[in-house]
Structure 1
Amino acid sequence: MFRDPVARTMLGVISLSSVGVGIHTLAMGQLLYTRTGSPAAFALILTLQGVAAFCVLPVCGPLVDMVSSKWVYVACGIGRAVTVLLIVLLASMPGDGAVPWMVAVAVLLAVFDNVERSALFKLTAHHVDQTHITRFNSLIGVAFQAGALSGMALLGLILTWGTAQQALLVDATMALGCALVVSRMRLTGAESTSPLSARTLGTAVAGTVGEWRLMLRRYRGDKIVFLLIALCAGDFVFAHGLSTLVVPLADNSQGGQGWYIAALEATFAVGMISASVFTDRLVSQRLLPLWLLCQAGAAAALALGGSSAVHFAAFFLAGFANLNSLTWLLTTLQQRADEGDKGKMASLRLLSIGLGTAVLMPLVGRSAAASLGAGFWSLAAAMLLFALAAAWAARAYRKPAETTKIPSDLSTGRDLVDAGGPVGI
């Protein structure tokens, strides 16, 4: 796979950009806490970023499908860098008056990040060799985890001699560097594109409703795809749940020591990295329910077990299972999406993740407020429901036949159908 120049370059870019993300998350939280003395400002940013994602994703899918995924990715990298630099500039102003502006500007990051993810979905679907796309998708999770952990470690060094603002400058530099690398990358496949311009953006916005109606019509006989999209939320809800509960877990067992939190998060990442070694054997349709069930089991073990050995074993199993289920779902949706629907499929996946997180995470949070065990049991229950749905999906899903597509009557709203394939329109 590493002989594929697009796969090799994009894994490097994802690792590098994730270093910036790891730096940004903690540095931004510390910067706002120092300014306000409360975590409320950073919590507000996360909430508003979720709202921004819901607003932009319906539009960004049709836009990404119209234009070059490479140049959308580059534009988003530049936009992220400019946004972070603006936050640094606002942070240099004395007093608390700049805090509302910092919050408002930070919301733009959700716009750039979500459009960038849609572009990545389309870019890799078109330009990474399909013979190792599953392996590549598994390594995306590994690259992100490794980069984010490296960014957190780098932040500690930066703050030893510098400030949170200087750390954010590193994040902006990473974003610009990634944009430059992708801009110089030669693509190996083909995709239908239009010039990236204000007119193209206007066309995408104006045609959003029509584009979504056509896509939903194409897949109305293939409803299992929508269940797979919904299942994508499970892995992210679980990862967010662990990140939420790891702090009180460390507080209960180790007096809230920071090294214990970092060690458990690192163990989750090691589990993901270990799973990537066995991608060819473990990422499969029939094993999807097992991996979601393993995540439910890991949460149950954390609810029951009080020893450090149980904690580390559960986090390792969680990361191992999380990568396998995430990879199969991502790869299947990439391959299932039609030529002109890659960006919209990515948007639907991200909308599902955002909606699942918005609905289920408050339930986990309220349960955790009662007790740590209740928090983990609620997370286990949620993952058990996802596992049951996955069992039905794994049994019902049929891979479309590799046949030549033939045109059909466009005047009746039919686009292209698989000759002899099971996919409805």
Structure 2
Amino acid sequence: MFRDPVARTMLGAISLSSVGVGIHTLALGQLLYSRTGSPAAFALILTLQGVAAFCVLPVCGPLVDMASSQRVYVACGVGRAAAVLAIVLLAALPGGGAVAWMVAVAVLLACFDNVERAALFKLTAHHVDKAHITRFNSLVGVAFQAGVLSGMALLGLILTWGTARQALLVDVAMALCCALAVSRMRLAAPESASPLSARNLGRAVMGTVGEWRLTLRRYRGDRVVFLLIALCAGDFVFAHGLSTLVIPLVDDVHGGRGWYVAALEATFAVGMISASAFTDRLISQRLLPLWLLCQAGAAAVLALGGPGALHFLAFFLAGFANLNSLTWLLTTLQQRADEGDKAKMASLRLLAIGLGTAALMPLIGRSASASLYAGFWSLAGAMLLFAVAGAWAARIYGPASGAAEAAEPQSRSSESVDPAVSPSGSTVS
């Protein structure tokens, strides 16, 4: 797979970008928590980011399908760098008004991130060798988590001599490096795409309703795909919930020692990386409800309290299960999408994630304001509902006609009855 230049470049670019993400997530969370004393501000950002996704994704799917996914990806990287730089400047201002503006820019950042994910979904679907794309999907998670771990470690070094605002400047630099690397990539088979322009953008916006009507008509006889799209929200709600609750958990149980935040998040990442070593065996249709249930169980363990070692075990299990369910859903949806609908399928998936986040994060945030452990119980309950829906989806799902073979794991034996997890594009969690 590493002989494929597109796969190699995209994995490197994702690693670079995720170094900044590892810094950004914890630095922004700590900035807001130190200024407000509550996890509610960070939960509010996640909720509003879900609303922003709901607003931008109906347009970005047709736009990315019309335009060059490479150019859209690069433009979003530059936009992300500008948004993080704006947060750095706002964080230097005193008063509560600065917090409100930081929240607003973080919502704008979510717009860039969601369009970028749709572009990545399409780019990898069209340009990564189909023979290697299942393995590529799992390695996207590894590249992301390895970069996040590096970013967390780098954040610790930066905070030893500097501030969280200075650390965010590294995120700016990483986003620009990622955009540069992708812009220099040569594609063997260029996409049929229109140039990015105000006129073409306006055409994409005006044609959005018609494009979606045609797409939904094509899939109206394939209703299980909409259930799979809805299930995609579970993994992201869970990850957002942990990111929201980990700082008050450390403050309440581990004496507020900041390195515990990085250590617990790193344990989640190690769990995801560990799961990638077993891609062919563990990413399967029949195991989908198990992985969703494992995430519910990890949240329940954290709700019950217990020693610190148990917290690390729960975070490891959560990361391990999260990668497995996330990868199967991604690959299955990408395989299900027609060639002209890759970005629109990505948009539907991201819309489900945004709606799920907007609906469930306020509940988790309110529960956490009442009690840290009530927050974890609400997260466990939400994931239990996703696990029940996942069990139903695993029972009724069947590969699309003509795609069954492509959907099978590459290593399946002749006795296996699991439908494949196969070629697809992937997005970063």
What's the TM-score, normalizing by structure 2?
A: 0.85
The letter of the residue matching 1:247 is I
Cα distance 1:50–1:385, how it changes in 2: closer, same or farther (>3 A)?
closer
- Please give the alpha-carbon distance, in whole angstroms, between the structure 2 residues aligned to 1:290 and 1:43: 27
- Please give the alpha-carbon distance, in whole angstroms, between the structure 1 residues aligned to 2:29 and 2:143: 23
User: Residue in 2 aligned with 1:239?
Assistant: 239
Matches of residues 22-33 of structure 1 in structure 2 within 5 Å? Answer: 22-29=22-29
- Please give the alpha-carbon distance, in whole angstroms, between the structure 2 residues aligned to 1:85 and 1:305: 38
The letter of the residue matching 2:337 is A
User: Residue in 2 aligned with 1:318?
Assistant: 318
- Using the TM superposition, name which of 216-225 and 86-95 deviates more: 86-95
Cα distance 1:350–1:265, how it changes in 2: closer, same or farther (>3 A)?
same
Cα distance 1:319–1:45, how it changes in 2: closer, same or farther (>3 A)?
closer
- Please give the alpha-carbon distance, in whole angstroms, between the structure 2 residues aligned to 1:201 and 1:29: 34
User: Residue in 1 aligned with 2:291?
Assistant: 291
User: Residue in 2 aligned with 1:128?
Assistant: 128
User: Residue in 2 aligned with 1:201?
Assistant: 201
Deviations 1:126-185 (A, max 9, x none): 111222222211222222222223223222322333344433332222111111110111
Cα distance 1:383–1:201, how it changes in 2: closer, same or farther (>3 A)?
same
Matches of residues 160-199 of structure 1 in structure 2 within 5 Å? Answer: 160-189=160-189, 191-199=191-199
Q: Is the 8 A contact 2:17 2:175 kept in 1?
A: yes
Is the counterpart of residue 62 in structure 1 residue 45 in structure 2? Answer: no
Is the counterpart of residue 300 in structure 1 residue 270 in structure 2? Answer: no
- Using the TM superposition, name which of 146-155 and 212-221 deviates more: 146-155
Cα distance 1:261–1:171, how it changes in 2: closer, same or farther (>3 A)?
closer
Matches of residues 25-424 of structure 1 in structure 2 within 5 Å? Answer: 25-29=25-29, 45-88=45-88, 103-189=103-189, 191-304=191-304, 306-402=306-402
User: Residue in 2 aligned with 1:421?
Assistant: none
Tell me the number of residue pairs that the alignment of Structure 1 and Structure 2 aligns.
403
- Please give the alpha-carbon distance, in whole angstroms, between the structure 2 residues aligned to 1:6 and 1:128: 6
Shift, 1:262, TM fit: 2.4
Deviations 1:213-241 (A, max 9, x none): 11110100000000000000111111222
- Using the TM superposition, name which of 226-235 and 89-98 deviates more: 89-98
- Using the TM superposition, name which of 171-180 and 102-111 deviates more: 102-111
The letter of the residue matching 1:80 is R
- Please give the alpha-carbon distance, in whole angstroms, between the structure 2 residues aligned to 1:296 and 1:100: 32
Shift, 1:46, TM fit: 4.5
**3-state DSSP class of the match of 2:286?**
coil
- Using the TM superposition, name which of 82-91 and 373-382 deviates more: 82-91
- Please give the alpha-carbon distance, in whole angstroms, between the structure 2 residues aligned to 1:62 and 1:6: 23
Q: Is the 8 A contact 1:253 1:306 kept in 2?
A: no
Deviations 1:306-343 (A, max 9, x none): 12332222221111111000000001111111111111
Is the counterpart of residue 3 in structure 1 residue 35 in structure 2? Answer: no
Q: Is the 8 A contact 2:40 2:365 kept in 1?
A: no
User: Residue in 1 aligned with 2:408?
Assistant: none
- Structure 2 portions without partners, runs of 5+: 404-429
User: Residue in 2 aligned with 1:413?
Assistant: none
- Using the TM superposition, name which of 219-228 and 91-100 deviates more: 91-100
Cα distance 1:264–1:101, how it changes in 2: closer, same or farther (>3 A)?
closer
Matched-pair identity in %: 84
- Please give the alpha-carbon distance, in whole angstroms, between the structure 2 residues aligned to 1:256 and 1:44: 22
Cα distance 1:74–1:240, how it changes in 2: closer, same or farther (>3 A)?
same
Deviations 1:221-276 (A, max 9, x none): 00000000000011111122222333343344433332333222211111110000
- Using the TM superposition, name which of 136-145 and 267-276 deviates more: 136-145
Cα distance 1:23–1:371, how it changes in 2: closer, same or farther (>3 A)?
closer
- Please give the alpha-carbon distance, in whole angstroms, between the structure 1 residues aligned to 2:162 and 2:68: 39
The letter of the residue matching 1:117 is R
Instruction: Quote the RMSD (CA, aligned, Å).
Output: 2.6
What's the TM-score, normalizing by structure 1?
A: 0.86
Shift, 1:40, TM fit: 7.4
- Using the TM superposition, name which of 114-123 and 46-55 deviates more: 46-55
- Using the TM superposition, name which of 309-318 and 94-103 deviates more: 94-103
- Using the TM superposition, name which of 165-174 and 322-331 deviates more: 165-174
**3-state DSSP class of the match of 2:222?**
coil
Q: Is the 8 A contact 1:126 1:190 kept in 2?
A: no
User: Residue in 2 aligned with 1:406?
Assistant: none
- Please give the alpha-carbon distance, in whole angstroms, between the structure 2 residues aligned to 1:6 and 1:55: 31
- Please give the alpha-carbon distance, in whole angstroms, between the structure 1 residues aligned to 2:238 and 2:209: 32
Cα distance 1:99–1:326, how it changes in 2: closer, same or farther (>3 A)?
closer
**3-state DSSP class of the match of 1:286?**
helix
User: Residue in 1 aligned with 2:409?
Assistant: none
**3-state DSSP class of the match of 1:109?**
helix
The letter of the residue matching 2:150 is S
Shift, 1:34, TM fit: 7.4
Q: Is the 8 A contact 1:134 1:328 kept in 2?
A: no
**3-state DSSP class of the match of 2:285?**
coil
The letter of the residue matching 1:218 is R
- Please give the alpha-carbon distance, in whole angstroms, between the structure 2 residues aligned to 1:29 and 1:364: 16
The letter of the residue matching 1:129 is D
Cα distance 1:45–1:376, how it changes in 2: closer, same or farther (>3 A)?
closer
**3-state DSSP class of the match of 1:3?**
coil
**3-state DSSP class of the match of 1:401?**
coil
Shift, 1:101, TM fit: 5.2
The letter of the residue matching 1:374 is A
- Please give the alpha-carbon distance, in whole angstroms, between the structure 1 residues aligned to 2:210 and 2:236: 30
